[in-house]
Structure 1
Amino acid sequence: MRTNPALIAMLAAGLAVSACSKKPPAQLPPDPGGAVSTETPTASTGPTPGSQADFVATLMGQDTILFDTDQYNIDSADQAALAAQAQWLAKYPAKRATVEGHADERGTREYNLALGERRANAAKNYLVSLGVDAARIATVSYGKERPVALGSDEGSWARNRRAVTVTID
């Protein structure tokens, strides 16, 4: 009887692979999607009242105001957004906020930091004029360092010329 070396190699490989197969565990972990909870569900289905998520959800995009090129003036659309922010802040008098000033990529770093600061201060001053205590609002300028739109076109630049209000927990 003659043995075929290729046949022996295939049989050895098959045995090696079958010896490495995993055995199923004795107890399977619970299914994350279909787990049955014995806890009573909470009534809250939205964001926690007074949180940053609540601020963003309530204002529906009015946490950000936009500016024209090299400008920091508050126009009528900005006034409406800031009025909505002031109403939310009046509802939660213990909350503090930071107004972040931003600029587009054009211009020097120093110029854009100064412009971002003027934008943040303009938004803060308007909020204060609406009755929000100035001590509750801080400002910071990021200049061109934190763009929301990457691109070197007017559409991207327009989205990056902004002031964003962020609540502090």
Structure 2
Amino acid sequence: MITKSLKQGLTFAVIMSFLVGCSSSSTQDDQTTTTAPVVNENINDRVEEQAPLETIVYFDFDQATLKPETRALLLAHADRLKSSGAATRLEGHADERGSREYNIALGERRANAVRDFLVLQGVSASSLEVVSYGEERPLATGSDESSYAQNRRVELKY
């Protein structure tokens, strides 16, 4: 009986070790396939590159001079335009104060200031188009300083 018990015990031990060996190798295979991190930095870079930038540059009353905070925004646009080569329309606008002719000229001076800055940063001048709408396309209707400030702008249209 001891021999029969010993045989049964050894058989049981062999079967158990076989089962344990099978389960540990499949668990190990599962762990390597499920725990291996998948990192693709290029996707993250593309998402950051496609993040939207503010496309409106604002100006002070009767001015076509870029503000310091505007320059930082335009540097980001310049980097994007240099890498993509996309054609861009620079639309100059003015508030309602002044004559129609004066505001068309002021909108053009503003758009040209943006174009000149972008060209100095290495953007191809041939990819930039300047258009002035003067006071004809206001963002805000109203005859107060808040409305005027929103209408003194250049919009970058890709």
Identity of aligned residues (%): 49
What is the SS of the residue equivalent to 2:89?
strand
Please list every run of at least 4 consecutive aligned residues from structure 1 whose deviation after the TM superposition is greater than 2 angstroms: none
Unpaired runs of at least 5, structure 2: 1-45
Q: How many pairs were matched up?
A: 111
Q: Deviations for 1:91-115, whole angstroms, at most 9, x for unmatched residues?
A: 212x110100000011110000000
Query: Which residue is equivalent to 1:140?
Result: 131
Structure 1: distance between partners of 2:143 and 2:97? 9
- One-letter code aligned to 1:137: L
Query: Which residue is equivalent to 1:126?
Result: 117
Query: Which residue is equivalent to 1:81?
Result: 73
Structure 2: distance between partners of 1:84 and 1:98? 16
Q: Is the counterpart of residue 96 in structure 1 residue 90 in structure 2?
A: no
Per-residue deviation at 1:58? 1.8
Structure 2: distance between partners of 1:64 and 1:114? 19
- One-letter code aligned to 2:117: Y
Unpaired runs of at least 5, structure 1: 1-48
Q: Deviations for 1:34-65, whole angstroms, at most 9, x for unmatched residues?
A: xxxxxxxxxxxxxxx9xxxx97x520x2x111
How big is the alpha-carbon RMSD for the aligned residues of Structure 1 and Structure 2?
1.5
